[in-house]
Amino acid sequence: MRNKLAGKFKGKSKSARYFALNPDSREKKNEYNKEYHSTEERRRYRSRLNRANRTSGSKVGDGKDVSHTKDGGTTLEKASSNRARNGRGNKPRLK
Domain that holds residue 70: 60-95
Q: In angstroms, rounded to a whole number, what is the distance separating the alpha carbons of residues 64 and 84?
A: 13
- 69, 75 in Cβ contact below 8 A? yes
Q: What number is the average pLDDT over the span 30-55?
A: 91
Listed in sequence order, the DSSP H helices in 1-87 are 14-21, 23-37, 40-55, 79-84
> What average pLDDT does the segment 46-63 reach?
82
Query: Is residue 28 located within the same domain as residue 41?
Result: yes
* Mean local confidence (pLDDT), 70-81: 84
pTM metric for this prediction:
0.59
Distance CA(52)–CA(11), nearest Å, equals 31
Flag whether 88 is in a domain. Answer: yes
Domain count, the chain: 2
How big is the chain by its Cα radius of gyration, in Å?
A: 18
* Structural domain includes residue 68: yes
Does residue 64 share a domain with residue 50? no
CA 77 to chain centre: 16
pLDDT of residue 11: 67
| Helix/strand/coil for 68 | strand
In a domain, 25, yes or no: yes
7 within a domain of the structure (yes/no): no
